[in-house]
DNA sequence: TAGTGGTCTAGACCACAGA
DNA sequence: CTGTGGTCTAGACCACTAC
């Protein structure tokens, strides 16, 4: 079904996650893996490249490939660097209450991000989102209705992303995110039950379809104590010389 | 000097940044680029892979590769997903005031992250960092002195990262980061001049050397109004089927 | 010296978007 | 139908590490 390197990637990842391959351990060399999986070296490298980008393994030039230890965290919900959907894909029990649902003229900032003109209409959705029954995110969403038509109140109450992919058959491919800390405002106090000394973790996002069209601009204000953003950065080889 | 794909990557990137290749424009096909740069297709794909991961281009299967428009931001200092150094590499005028500089026994949490034993000594540095003369970060740094020896007060006042790479000749290769919003505490009020309703953007980081050794654990509390964390997420092809 | 990952070549076949 | 990126093969040489 999937490609060969994807199968190998999944296999190795699961071996790491289940502890068959232990942190610090050296895994087989690329040539040995070729034999084991009966494929060419490039296929193995494709798989190892993904594992390395995701922080599962670490490659030491001229020495070998090693399992990296995964330190994981606290009581917060983890928003991964690779997560594209607002929420519904990562967390389990997500429900939403729609606070506002209206069509406006697009403002300048949103128009810029969504590549729209000043006089274009935009769908604005303001939702309170619950995880396991607890109100934890206040989310402002701006959708381009020419790209994503037919979003109803019912869709907004559930998952817009699922509607886009499953009903419209479009593919969400990438997202740009900017994360900041913000003092809480009146709505945060009211809906997220925050004190005025307690902040939100704000994630501003522009999401793109698989043809490069930006379709959504959103501001998601997360309860500071319930979310964290994790990422793994890998420096490229020659980058330091520049 | 650098590898061929790196040269091609740099060349294409600069063409995008200088506007020779414009947002939305389709660039040459991979086979055409092979001829232009006189190399094999894999070398071209290596270059395009990086551009794609970094959000410069967007590949549409069976159609072509397109330049993506880069939206950039506000008045804040951008902490990029790919930035490894705390600061000194990205911003220009960074100075530091050392608040504490001492050797302690490592605590359990730090020991876990740095792969150390309970009775091991750890170097603890507490610094206030200024950008353009403004106090904007309070940073707690824990260093493993067995891995990074010879850090002096003088080093701490300047750049620990530069000392590691330039003086010790070690290579910083990767980092795991966890970003959260936190209410400001007394030190934040005192040193960063925050009000009690104003938060910090906290980045917790474990940094690794090029051989996979964790050498530093740090907590950096950033003035909420001066920093943002940006990232670009790209979904992998088959990921959706899982 | 032997083994490793990094780089590169020169091909190949596929499924499907777009004309 | 043609061109495209996605995947894959079966090699190759290199510089360096660890022994």
> What is the reported pLDDT for A158?
87
**Which of chain A's residues have a Cβ under 8 Å away from the Cβ of B240?**
165, 171
Q: Write out chain A residues lying below 8 Å of B112, CB-based.
A: 71
In 3D space, the residue among B160, B152, B162, B153 whose CA is nearest the CA of residue B218 turns out to be B160
Sorted by sequence, the CB contacts under 8 Å of residue B161 that are 6+ apart come out as B84, B85, B86, B88, B89, B172
Q: Extract the residue ranges of chain B whose pLDDT is less than 70.
A: 1, 69-92, 237-242
Give the percent of chain B with pLDDT over 70: 87
How far is it, in rounded angstroms, from Cα A137 to Cα A191?
A: 9
Res. A167 pLDDT band, cuts 50 70 90? confident
Looking at residue B46, what is its pLDDT?
95
Rounded CA separation A119/B169 (Å): 57
What global pTM score does this model have? 0.86
- The DSSP bridge pattern shows strands A121-131 and A94-105 to be antiparallel
* pLDDT for the residue numbered A31: 94
Please, which contacts does A18-22 make with residues 24 or more away whose CB atoms are closer than 8 Å? A21/A67, A22/A67
Note the pLDDT of residue B73: 43
Residue indicated by tokens 């001492």: B102
Q: What does the mean pLDDT of chain B come to?
A: 86
The helix/strand/coil state of B224 is: coil
Residue A242 pLDDT exceeds 60: no
Q: How confident is the model at residue A105 (pLDDT cuts 50, 70, 90)?
A: very high
Mean pLDDT, rounded, of chain A: 87
Task: Identify from A23, A231, A236, A238 which residue to disrupt to test chain B contact, counting B C-beta atoms within 10 A and taking the largest count.
Answer: A231
Closest CA to B68 of A175, A164, A142, A117: A175
**Longest CA pairwise span in chain A (Å):** 62
> Among the ranges A3-12, A151-160, A185-194, B103-112, which has the highest mean pLDDT value?
A185-194
- A229 vs B contacts (CB less than 8 Å): 178-180, 229
**Could you give the CA distance from residue A163 to residue A167 in angstroms, rounded to a whole number?**
5
pLDDT for the residue B40: 95
Q: How far is CA B109 from CA A72, A226, B115, B116, B218, in A?
A: 12, 20, 10, 10, 12
Residue A168 phi/psi, 5-degree rounding, is: -80, -20
Q: How far apart are CA A52 and CA A44, in angstroms?
A: 12
- In tens, the pLDDT along B144-203 reads 998 999 999 999 998 898 898 888 888 888 888 899 999 999 999 999 999 999 999 999
B96 membership: H or E segment, kind and range: strand B94-105
Of chain A residues 55-74, which have a beta carbon within 7 Å of strand C? Answer: 59-65
Distance CA A42, CA A30 (A): 9
Task: Tell me which residue of B84, B78, B92 sits closest to B161, measured CA to CA.
Answer: B84
How distant, in Å, are the alpha carbons of A8, A114, A211, B113 from that of B19?
40, 20, 21, 44
The reported pLDDT for the residue numbered A231 is 84
Which of B181, B202, B242 would best serve as a mutation to test chain A binding (most A beta carbons within 10 A)? B181
CB-CB contact of B145 with B216 (8 Å): no
In the prediction, which pLDDT does A240 show?
A: 35
* Residues facing A203 on adjacent strands: A179, A220
pLDDT for A151 equals: 94
Contact A51, A21 (CB under 8 A): no
**Nearest C-alpha in A relative to B6:** A238
* B172 neighbors B184 (Cβ within 8 angstroms): no
pLDDT tens-place string over residues A75-93:
566 676 656 555 545 556 7
Helix (H, G, I), strand (E, B) or coil at B164: helix
By C1' distance from the Cα of A63, the closest nucleotide is: C4
Residue A149 pLDDT exceeds 70: yes
CA torsion angle A32 A34 A35 A40 (round to 10) = -140
Considering only the beta carbons, identify the residue of A2, A174, A241 that sits closest to B233.
A174
| pLDDT value at residue A239 | 43
């Amino acid at each position: 079904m999937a490609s060969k390197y994807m199968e190998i990637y999944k296999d190795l990842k699961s071996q790491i996650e289940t502890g068959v391959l232990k942190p610090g351990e050296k895994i087989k060399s690329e040539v040995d893996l070729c034999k084991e999986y009966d494929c060419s070296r490039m296929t193995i490298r494709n798989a190892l490249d993904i594992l390395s980008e995701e922080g599962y393994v670490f490659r030491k030039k001229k020495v070998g490939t090693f399992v990296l230890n995964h330190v994981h965290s606290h009581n917060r919900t983890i928003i991964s660097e690779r997560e594209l959907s607002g929420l519904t894909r990562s967390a389990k029990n997500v429900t939403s209450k729609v606070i506002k649902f209206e069509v406006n003229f697009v403002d300048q900032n949103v128009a810029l991000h969504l590549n729209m003109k000043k006089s274009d209409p935009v769908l604005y959705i303001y939702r309170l989102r619950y995880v396991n029954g607890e109100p934890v995110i206040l989310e402002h969403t701006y959708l381009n209705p020419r790209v994503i038509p037919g979003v109803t109140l019912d869709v907004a109450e559930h998952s817009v992303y699922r509607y886009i992919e499953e009903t419209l058959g479009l593919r969400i491919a990438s997202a740009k995110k900017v994360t900041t800390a913000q003092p809480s405002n009146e709505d945060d106090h009211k809906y997220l039950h925050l004190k005025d000394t307690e902040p939100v973790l704000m994630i501003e996002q522009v999401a793109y379809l698989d043809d490069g069209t930006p379709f959504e601009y959103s501001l998601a204000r997360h309860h500071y104590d319930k979310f964290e953003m994790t990422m793994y950065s890998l420096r490229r080889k020659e980058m330091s010389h520049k």
